[in-house]
Amino acid sequence: MAAAPLKLTANDAEDLIVLSACLQDAVTLASDITYLPKERRFAAVFSRFRWEDHYGGGQKRWVKAGVHFNGVLGVKSKDLDRSPEQVLEFLAIEATPREDGAAEVRLDFAGGTSISLDVECIDVNLSDMGEPWAGRRLPKHPIDRG
């Protein structure tokens, strides 16, 4: 039986660990990522592997998932190819909280690409969108032996 669509909220660094695990191995296009400075919002749409369906021998299914960060004061990127069709493979989210409640939140992608968000507080939402679809294989990454 398939799990219900995810709707998660993260309000601290510990919550982001859960959200990061749910997004692990998701893919997105550079054109599906945006920063809206007037709204202080950073948003992205991912194709997310539904690990929650797969554990215990379940199906290999994917679903579109929207993620948005509120209270974003600035965005920086490292090694981001901005061509619209560039595929980015998500690895993890890490947060470095500051004493005033603000934080730096970093989204790491395969190949050394990262996007850093300067946020006034951790306020993130993830929501699955639409129906899941079947995949043929599990996500996997080559091991860096460097």
**Average pLDDT per block of 10 residues along the chain, 146 residues long:** 83 95 94 96 96 74 96 96 89 94 96 96 97 80 50
pLDDT at residue 112 in the model: 94
> Which among 98, 99, 96, 124 has a CA at the least distance from the CA of 23?
124
* The pLDDT value given to residue 141: 56
Strands 27-29, 103-109: parallel, antiparallel or unpaired by DSSP?
unpaired
> CA-CA distances (angstroms) from residue 14 to 90, 91, 96, 103?
19, 17, 11, 13
Amino acid at 35: Y
Q: Decide if 6 contacts 129 (C-beta within 8 A).
A: no
d(CA 70, CA 35): 10
The pLDDT assigned to 68 comes to: 97
State CA 117 to chain mean position distance: 13
Residue 145's pLDDT is what?
A: 42
Q: What is the DSSP letter of 2?
A: P
In the chain, where the domains are located: 7-131
Taking a C-beta distance cutoff of 8 angstroms, is the pair 47, 29 a contact? no
Closest CA to 62 of 129, 140, 142, 111: 129
Look at residue 136 in the predicted model and tell me its pLDDT: 73
**DSSP H or E run through 20:** helix 13-23
Please report the pLDDT score of residue 110 as a whole number: 94
